Amino acid sequence: MILYPAIDLKGGECVRLAQGDMARATVYNKDPGAQAAAFKAQGFEWLHVVDLDGAFAGNAVNGPAVEAILKATDVPVQLGGGIRSLAMIEGWLKRGLTRVILGTVALRDPALVIEACKLFPGHVAVGIDARDGMVAVEGWAETSSITAIDLAKRFEDAGVSALIFTDIARDGLLTGVNVPATAALADAVSIPVIASGGLAGLADIEALMAVAGTPIAGAISGRALYDGRLDPAAALALTKRAA
């Protein structure tokens, strides 16, 4: 299982939100590039980056901060937040991103996701953010009438490289990952699933890795890393031992 440290960008700074509420943001680092370099030095092999402002605006807002991250480290980076056109996808991949994460557009325009997977094979992931099991979009400001599993199934044969599944109710609160919902999604489709939202410590990683059905491909950690509740060396050693 791959462990992804999260860099959430708001106003060019690294922050963490509570349940996706932009008014409940804690700034952890004013230099995203330095944060990316620190995560690489700790041994992480991927970075998960979200343009929070972009998710609400529907276009890239923290572009300079993302570029600073790409310049500061050579580890693969996946980016979500406001990416809603083929031109934007192509532009980011040309600038060095390894993977783009499509969220709102996956619900609004699934045909675009399918086309993107054909044009950029292996470089497109879908972000599924759920509130009480229902997909939320537009920076989590709107809750739809479709379930996370039903949305995932739309892309079963599209070539999506991964599904990033976030339980909004737990995000940023350190209350533990929603293991049952994540496992149910993984069992429902053949696309690799990455867990997000609420990871509080080693116990969450162990619980995800112990899922009896389809293995969970990865987990994203934000606040637990920034607050020191999750030791990077111990967490990475745990994932490597299991591998």
* 8 has catalytic annotation: yes
Q: Which of 51, 53, 129, 204 is catalytic?
A: 129
Element (H, E) at 242: helix 232-242
- Contacts of residue 94, defined as CB under 8 A and 6 or more positions apart, other chains included, come to none
- Contacts of residue 243, defined as CB under 8 A and 6 or more positions apart, other chains included, come to 1
* 171 has catalytic annotation: no
Q: Which of 8, 51, 167, 171 is catalytic?
A: 8
How far apart are the C-alpha atoms of 132 and 227, rounded to whole Å?
Answer: 27
Query: Can you read off the two tokens belonging to residue 111?
Result: 């045909």
Closest CA to 198 of 55, 17, 49: 17
Element (H, E) at 91: helix 86-94
What are residue 136's DSSP bridge partners?
143
Active-site amino acid positions? 8, 129
